[in-house]
Amino acid sequence: MSQRKNIFISGTAFSLGVAAGVALAPLSQRRNLEKLLRQIEHIQRKTQRLSRVMRLKSSRSVRKVSGRVKSELRQPIPDLYKATEGLMMSHDDLSNG
């Protein structure tokens, strides 16, 4: 399962837990709703920030790898083994682009 799906599922589960806790709390319905909305906004901001960080890290790793491969491929007859020996990419790296 990809990290984005894990984050989404975790955020959703957390939000549902918060919603259940707020609904069962001894506060007025309006205060419960306001508190729940604030917490949901907070979770959304954290999820968006984490998503940006993950995209940035993946783009850095792709640039690093492509730079290494390009430098090796500049040779007239490149040593493809040498150009790709340091590539350590998981399935998630490839699918997240």
Compute the mean pLDDT over every residue in the chain, rounded to the nearest whole number. 76
Q: Report the sign of the C-alpha dihedral through residues 55, 57, 61, 67, in that order.
A: positive
The domain of 24 spans 3-96
DSSP-based three-state secondary structure for 21: helix
Q: What pLDDT score was predicted for residue 97?
A: 56
Look at the chain and report how many structural domains it folds into: 1
The amino acid sitting at 76 is P
Q: What pLDDT score was predicted for residue 78?
A: 60
Q: What pLDDT score was predicted for residue 3?
A: 76
pTM score, two decimals? 0.39
Cβ atoms of residues 96 and 2 within 8 Å: yes
Q: What is the pLDDT of residues 38-80, one digit of tens each?
A: 988 888 888 888 888 888 777 777 777 777 766 666 666 666 7
